[in-house]
Structure formats: structure tokens, C-alpha cells
Amino acid sequence: MPTSTRPRNALYAQSGGVTPVINASAWGVIDTVRQHPERIGSLFLARNGILGALNEALIDAATLTDAQLASLKTTPAGAFGSCRHKLKKDAEFDRLVALFEAHDIGYFFYNGGGDSADTCLKVAELARSRGLDLTAVHVPKTIDNDLPLTDCSPGFGSVAKYIATSAREAGLDIASMAPTSTKVFIMEVMGRHAGWTAAAAGLAAANADTPPHLILVPEIAFDEARFIAAVSQTVERVGYCVVVASEGIRDGEGRFLAESGATDAFGHAQLGGVAPVLANLVKEKLGAKVHWAVPDYLQRASRHIASATDLEQAIAVGQAAVGFALEGKKSVMAAIVRDQATPYRWHVDAVPLSDVANKEKTLPRDYLDAEGYRLTEAGREYFAPLIRGEAFPPFVEGMPALPNWHFDDVAKRLVPFKG
């Protein structure tokens, strides 16, 4: 608990790839802070993640209108902007210290995935090393669902619902045209090192003959000959084949099938598109007509078909993060704990941030069958509760009612940051 009795200010920021429900976590943080004016003074919202903190581009949450607050629960993407930025320069750490002191920041809430957990931990360690009275709490989100120590990550349930729905709908399209047109359809989904999103598509399959027929995940090495044989056998048996593949599938020697050669701010390899690689392979080996699609940003912006469970959890981790901070819990993440599968019951608990940062949770092998291509009952039991329930946004004239965000920055107290 902070040593001072006066209310300290707080800073919230969004980071990494955005999700259909990350703004709902922001709502959870803002609404809970407003309920404790005796403990937390002003809540500042950083523009574009940690970059907003470095550039002192801050929004006072008190200036948000009731309509803007309500829209946070129904709008995808990052209302306050996000970023991918790895803290590594001494000048950046010095700048953060200056910002915290200039704006009397006593609480830091960072909403993001694995790399963001690393940033949050770095900020917590910085505060400790510099003698700052700062409580840092990580608010989880990632559509990849690869954060450890949490049953699932907010954002994933809605993406899983979108991908499974798309696989079922596209499967019907392919089935109707297969006699004279496309025989194989390949959908590439996000998932660099973990196949959670691809595996969730298996919820669309009612039996062995309904799509997706083949699921490809990074945890199982891609075998070209085995894959081609499976596609051929499926087309012969069913008349067509639908494949859902993680972007990060690798060959037997650990090489990405679609590595572009570039890297991002955290040093991760940029992937160049596995769907066309697979499509060309099928066309070359089988001579079949193939179509492919990459939902890409569509899957993580799909608020129109969000999971009600996912929305509820996104709000809950934001609320819990503030609660943990007020309890004096430092350097923790608000994690979702599954109490039971049927009916699905869960709660939020605090877990050490040091056990989350720079770690990944991969897909359990028993979630896919012996062939590694289809969802098992164990996998279905895990995924099914996460996509349940509908949480439609309001619609106006047939379109989702999405705001054009506009926020004013607070007055700067520091000189411009030169980096």
C-alpha cells in the first residue's frame, strides 16, 4: 500500500496488437478508479502505449463523457492508441522516472500481451531500483492466448468465435461449389508460436466430415508429404477440404514456412503468409483448385461477433487490476482462473508478473487428435465456454455504431523527449 495518505495518480496504457474487447478492460479500470477517489486521484490515459508516457501525451480520464465511456465496452481496437515498443535505453528509463514524478504517478496499469508484461515488469523494477513509490499491475489481453498462468486471455474468446464461425460459413460455401469449382480452402490465422486460435476453429466441426478438416499448429511440425496425403484423402472422401493454419507453422527443423526475413521491435520474425505457401503446394502436388484467405486484422477487430464471456472477462481483469493495486499487490497480473468447465465458472486472481513476462503458454498436445489435425473432446471442453454468448454492439442504419474518438491532452510539464 502506498506510504502516503494523499491520493496518488494513476497511469493506464494499451499495448501490442489490439483486440475486440481491450477497450472493455479500459472501461473496467476507469470505472473502478472512479469508485475510489479517496485512494486514487487523477487517472491518466497514455496515447499509444508506453510511447505516450515517454512523450507525455496523456489524457485525463475525468474528461471522458458518459457516451465515450459507454462506447468503450462496444468498440474494438485501442481507443487511446497502442504500440509495439521495447524499453531498452537509459534515456527512456530516466524519462519515465521524470514523468512519474511530474504527474505524481503512484499506480501503473499496462494492458497488453507477453511483450507488454515484460514492459510492465521493467517499469516495476525501474521504480524499485529508483526508490519510487509505484504499484505496477499488468492487465492481460492477447488474441494468441499464449499468456501463462491464466486460463485464457481477454480478446481470445471473441477471436476464437470469429474464426470458428468463419470456418463453418466458408465450409458451407466450399461444399456448395466443390463439384465444379474450389476443392481446397485454406484459412490462415494468427499464432506465431502457439496454435490456440487455429485449434479453436475445430469448434465448427460437427463430425469428421465437416470443416475444418485439417488444423495446422506450430506445436506440431509440418510434414509436407503427410499433409498432402491428408488433403487428398479428405477430398476423395468428402469432396472438398477446409484447412485452418496458424501463421507460425514450422517444418521439422523448426523453420517457419512463411518467414519474410524482417523482425519487429521485439526481435520477433515477421511472417510473410503461410496460406499462399500451402495453396501453391496443394496446387502443385494435387492439381486441385485452391482458394485461400487471411483474416488478419479482421479477426482481432471483430467486435460485431464478440463473445459475451470474453467481454465479461475483459471487464473483470480491468476491475481486478485496480483492486489488486489498492490492496498493495505489486508486480502482478490479473489472471483468469477456471474453477470448473461445466458449467464454466471462473474468478480473477493475482499472479507474479515475473512468472508471466517473456514466457509463452503453448497448446496442449491432447487438444488435437493422434494425427494432429482435429480437435479432441478435451480441446472442445476447454474452448467451448470461451465463445459462448453474444454481445452485439449497437447498430445504426445497419452498421455498428462506432465512435470517432477525440480526446484532449493534459498540459505538459516536461520538456519534449528527444529519445
Active site residue 144: yes
CB atoms within 10 A of CB 183: 23
Backbone angles phi, psi at 44, to 5 degrees: -100, 140
Q: What is the DSSP letter of 33?
A: H
247 is in an annotated binding site: yes
297 is in an annotated binding site: yes
Q: List C-alpha distances in Å: 74 to 67, 129, 163, 391.
A: 11, 40, 19, 8
DSSP characters over 343-411: TTEEEEEEEEGGGTTT---PPPGGGB-TTSSSB-HHHHHHHGGGG-SB-PPPEETTEE-------PBPP
299 is in an annotated binding site: yes
Contact 146, 156 (CB under 8 A): no
333 is in an annotated binding site: no
Three-state DSSP state, 261: strand
Q: How far apart are CA 160 and CA 162, in angstroms?
A: 5
338 is in an annotated binding site: no
Three-state DSSP state, 130: coil
Q: How far apart are CA 255 and CA 269, in angstroms?
A: 11
Q: How far apart are CA 112 and CA 118, in angstroms?
A: 10
Q: Which of 118, 144, 151, 310 is catalytic?
A: 144
143 is in an annotated binding site: yes
Query: Which residues participate in the annotated binding site?
Result: 17, 142-144, 190-192, 247, 297-300
Query: Which residues participate in the annotated binding site for diphosphate?
Result: 17
**Active-site positions?**
144
Query: Which residues participate in the annotated binding site for substrate?
Result: 142-144, 190-192, 247, 297-300
